[in-house]
A and B are shown apart, each in its own frame.
Chain A
């Protein structure tokens, strides 16, 4: 057997990519669009196709030093410049600097009469000229299908399209072609037949009157890519895509603790507070003090010199600041110091993904150590439960992966089971603090307890939560045979207990005094008896002595008498 010749190791040539610079897109596509190839971006009207293409060109010219050619079939360069100016792109300036070449291709079917054979060599000449003028690396056609309305001979057009895409590939131009979505097909004119390297589908759907934009990479030949539908947003900084790729349970955990902002609550959590990077759920009924507790956490974060992002969906920034000031939490000065970033917007403003995308963007920008979302339950009003669940899971995952401590406030409506959050996110969170109102004797009082807190020996006590103008305080609620007593009932019970104690004390004192008195009385009695006894004794002794003396006398008298009579002796 002959020795096998060793195959020379050759380098595997992986597909090269052109970064788009669109936040999130390069992550899900593994680096951008296929370099030197053509990508179709398709979707319905108003889905952001043009936006995607322009951003690809503009960012290419600005960030990656790859000049681009824009062949616009639908809008004049002036219109387009003003359209994207609101997104901070000055395409006219880029054109002046020869980083961008704008060519508006005017197609007006009513002005065109066809008489015999023709081709679209004019388009190729224009393109060649444009590419040569600025040394373009990127090209965008928007929307090339407009040609189908201008020319009536589809076989000529199809041949020309095939030639065009080959032409672009031969010149290694990274191209984006936008196309209108057709019925049952990706593009109305079936362009995907000619270009099969990469197809991106954009979608703009309206659900319950709220718009949601999604992006999906339908096809990307020769590369691994995210296959999900990714929500994206078009705002004042252009397009951004939420890369939901981090759905893995691999985040690192921290043993560091962070104060909750309420010393008594810290005490309930082993005296140290929340774990850093954990997610905390504050749930409760309306008016149970959830926001106040969340705000005091934000306050504590800022006090330790860390940044906090506070997102409120219910109250405006001013309102939150005023309300919190009334309980001694000054959020305003943290905002001024640049530690607190307060963002407020309506939950109905966008769909759930848009909210999350916006939160994502804010977190990327601010890089806070803590995030407060007040309340997360309001997001449900903009979507279905299932969507909210998966989105919140993604958000929690992202926050955990970034090591950010997050406090989510959620409202439990009256009829619901208190220990079951509407969106069912409780299992995702590490610490769950439940707050409830206890109604008794014509008043409602706030109560708080730690339902769970992973990784620590937390208190199992129910505490009464007192909000005063000096801040928050927790006091042990009275638990007796009549149930849990709070508020004035608790105070009354405490007073009663105090009075009882006092009564008992007085009783003891009284008894003590009585004993003392008795002792004194008995002692006096003993003394008087002693006296009596002594008197009797003395008297007895006297009688005895008198008797003895008389006996003596009698004896003496008898002797004397005998002496005097000289009685016989």
Chain B
């Protein structure tokens, strides 16, 4: 799988914990954004995702952007129908969010990241 764009893993704790292997399960959020070519909608989805991650995610996370025009076989393998689709593959259960992610509130609910920032602060405090 080719990483076309990677939002760096953010971590306020030490560098070791940033590694997904060493972190306890459920702590890391794995996201994949499926797009089809560089359409305005795809661009919108990417920028919306960047914004949401920056504003709402305190946890460690990874984002991978997959262009199905370049990798058409992945559409079947990953069961993608709607474009754009954001898939949270970790933690389970898998969640799928479709659309250009313009509705921030629904994305936050859909990814179940509401309050992560607050929880993270509480943990630090």
B21 within 8 A of A: no
Q: From DSSP, what is the main secondary structure of chain A's interface residues?
A: mixed
The interface bits of chain B over 60-101 (1 if a CB of A lies within 8 angstroms of the residue's CB, else 0) are 000000001100110110011111110000000111111111
Q: Is the CB of A113 within 8 A of B102?
A: no
Interface residue ranges of B32-52 to A (CB < 8 Å) = 34, 36, 41, 44, 48
* B106 at the binding interface (Cβ < 8 Å): yes
Q: Which of A106, A111, A119, A121 contacts B95 (CB 8 A)?
A: A111
Report the minimal beta-carbon distance from A155 to chain B, rounded to whole angstroms: 14
Could you say which residues of chain B place their CB within 8 Å of the CB of A105? Answer: 79, 81
B108 to chain A, nearest CB (A): 10
Establish whether residues A122 and B81, one from each chain, have CB atoms under 8 Å apart when the complex forms: yes
Contact present for A122 and B99 (CB under 8 Å): no
Contact with B along A119-145 (1 / 0, CB 8 A): 111110110111000000000000000
Least CB distance, A14 to chain B, in whole angstroms: 36
Shortest Cβ distance from B103 into A: residue: A115
Q: Inside 8 A of B4's CB, which chain A residues have their CB?
A: none
- Assess whether B83 is in contact with A118, with CB atoms less than 8 Å apart: yes
Interface flag for A314 (CB, 8 Å): no
Query: A540 CB to closest chain B CB, in angstroms?
Result: 155
**Pairwise interchain contact B107-A126, C-beta atoms closer than 8 A:** no
Tell me if A107 is interfacial: C-beta within 8 Å of chain B. Answer: yes
B123 at the A interface (CB under 8 A): no
Cα–Cα distance between A122 and B39 once the two chains are bound (Å) = 14
Residue A206 is within 8 A (CB to CB) of chain B in the complex: no
Residue pair A116, B101 in contact (C-beta under 8 Å): yes
Chain B residue nearest in CB terms to A107:
B81
A106 touches B101 (CB 8 A): no
- Chain B residue contacts of A126, Cβ below 8 A: 72, 75-76, 80-81
In the complex, the answer to whether A117 meets B41 with C-beta atoms within 8 Å is yes
Q: Is the CB of A115 within 8 A of B110?
A: yes
- Chain A residues with CB below 8 A from B99, complex form: 114-118
Partner of A113, one of B79, B80, B93, B109: B109
A103 to B77, CA, bound (A): 9
Complex-state Cα separation, A256 to B72, whole angstroms = 68
**Which residue in chain B gives the minimum CB-CB distance to A153?**
B99
Q: How far is the CA of A147 from the CA of B82 in the complex (A)?
A: 10
Please state if A125 and B103 are interface contacts (CB–CB under 8 Å).
no
Q: Could you tell me the distance between the alpha carbons of A128 and B68 in the complex, rounded to whole angstroms?
A: 11
The distance from the CB of B102 to the nearest CB of chain A, in whole angstroms, is: 4
Tell which of A119, A125, A128, A130 has the most Cβ of chain B within 10 Å: A125
C-alpha gap A470/B94 in the complex (Å): 81
Chain A residues in 8 Å Cβ range of B102: 115-117
Distance of A121 Cα from B44 Cα, bound (Å): 16
For residue A1, CB closer than 8 A to chain B, the reply is no
A interface bracket (residues with beta carbon within 8 Å of B)? 20 to 34
Q: Evaluate whether A129 and B75 lie within 8 angstroms (CB atoms) in the complex, with A115-B110, A116-B103, A122-B81 already known.
A: yes
User: A363-412: which residues lie under 8 A (CB-CB) from chain B?
Assistant: none
CB atoms of A114 and B106 under 8 A apart = yes
Q: In the complex, are the beta carbons of B76 and A115 less than 8 A apart?
A: no
Task: Determine the distance from Cα of A150 to Cα of B80 in the docked complex, in whole angstroms.
Answer: 12
The reply to whether A103 and B97 form a contact with Cβ atoms under 8 Å apart is: no
Contact A125 B106 (CB under 8 A): no
Cα of A38 to Cα of B102 in the assembled complex, Å: 36
Cross-chain contact B96 with A128 (CB below 8 angstroms) = no
**In whole Å, how far is A158's beta carbon from the nearest beta carbon of chain B?**
15
- The residue of chain A having its C-beta at the shortest distance from the C-beta of B48 within the complex is A116
State A118–B33 Cα separation when bound (angstroms). 13
Is A151 interfacial (CB 8 A cutoff)?
A: yes
Min CB gap A151→B, angstroms: 7
State the CA gap A128–B76 with chains docked (Å). 11
A106 CA / B97 CA spacing, docked (Å): 15
Is the CB of A249 closer than 8 A to any CB of chain B? no
Q: Are B76 and A113 in contact (CB under 8 A)?
A: no
Give Cα A122 to B75, complex, Å.
6
Task: Tell me, yes or no, whether A112 is within 8 Å of chain B by CB.
Answer: yes
With both chains docked as a complex, state the minimum distance between the C-beta of A30 and any C-beta of chain B, in angstroms.
Answer: 36
Given contacts A113-B95, A113-B110, contact A118 B72 (CB under 8 A): no
Contact of B94 with A111 in the complex, beta carbons under 8 Å? yes
Is the beta-carbon distance between A125 and B68 smaller than 8 angstroms?
A: yes
Please indicate the chain A residues that have their CB under 8 angstroms from the CB of B79 in the complex: 105-106
The smallest beta-carbon distance between A72 and chain B, in angstroms, is: 12
Cβ contact of A117, chosen from B68, B96, B100, B107, cutoff 8 A? B100
Nearest neighbor of B82 in chain A, beta-carbon distance: A118
Given A115-B102, A116-B103, residue A125 in contact with residue B94 (CB < 8 A) = no
Q: Which residues of B contact A103 (CB under 8 A)?
A: 76
In whole angstroms, how far apart are the Cα atoms of A117 and B106 in the complex?
A: 13
Q: Which of A75-125 contact B (CB under 8 A)?
A: 103, 105-107, 111-123, 125
Q: A121-B36, A122-B82 are in contact. Are A112 and B76 (CB under 8 A)?
A: no
* Most central of B93, B98, B109 by chain A CB within 10 Å: B98
CB distance from B22 to the nearest CB of A (A): 29
CB distance from A433 to the nearest CB of B (A): 67
Q: 4 closest A-B pairs (Cβ-Cβ)?
A: A116-B99, A113-B110, A116-B102, A121-B83
Subset of 13 A-B contacts with CB under 8 Å: A111-B94, A112-B82, A113-B97, A113-B107, A113-B110, A114-B99, A116-B103, A118-B84, A118-B100, A120-B82, A122-B36, A122-B68, A125-B72
Q: List residues of chain B with CB under 8 Å of any chain A CB.
A: 34, 36, 41, 44, 48, 68-69, 72-73, 75-76, 79-85, 93-103, 106-107, 109-110
7 additional contacts (CB under 8 A) given A112-B98, A130-B76: A105-B81, A112-B97, A116-B100, A119-B83, A120-B82, A125-B68, A126-B75
